[in-house]
Amino acid sequence: MTAVKPFPFHSNFLSLLFMTGAIGVDTSCRVKMSCLIVCLAVTAAGCGGPYNASVSGDVMLDGQPVSTGGIAFIPTAGGPTAYAQIDSSGHYQIYTGKEEGLPAGNYGVTIVSREPPATDRSKLGGPPPPGKAITPEWYADAKQTPLKFDVKPGKNEIKLELSNAPPAGWKPSKRR
């Protein structure tokens, strides 16, 4: 007697039988299940992160690229602050936490760039003192930064043009 091999039922084959009506399911149930499958597929395909805007660009100081440092986009109306590291070519891409992007809105932007420290450790063996500032201090002060931007939903390319000349009305911050 010859054994009959079972037909290999794969999920795609079962889906085809289900959708075509070969498996006994009434039409209204088949339509509802089809809609559910399509909705789930569209929802999963649309996952692009929780923020509705992205910001990237280049950082220039007196026409030259800034090749190191950090940037903060601080919302003027509250909400999460977004950050970026400046790469060696002067380019940046904004992230809020680990997610690329940020909520659309108005932002004040701070930038801090420093030369590498002159030593590996402090005199007492702790971390090294910070290197010499590359960017002027008014770009590091969230209250006085002249960099203000309206971030729109979608992609935003913002070139951050810095100058060593202080902005009008700038006052040095008081040291503690």
What is the amino acid identity at position 125?
A: G
pLDDT tens by residue, 24-62: 544 454 444 444 444 444 333 344 568 999 999 999 999
- One-letter-per-residue 3-state SS of 84-147: EECCCCCEEECEECCEECECCEEEEEEEECECCCCCCCCCCCCCCCCCCECCCHHHCCCCCCCC
pLDDT tens by residue, 117-166: 888 888 888 888 889 999 999 999 998 899 999 999 999 999 999 999 99
Does the pTM surpass 0.85? The reply is: no
CA atoms within 13 A on the CB side of 23: 11
pLDDT tens by residue, 67-114: 999 999 999 998 999 999 999 999 999 999 999 999 999 999 999 999
The reported pLDDT for the residue numbered 176 is: 53
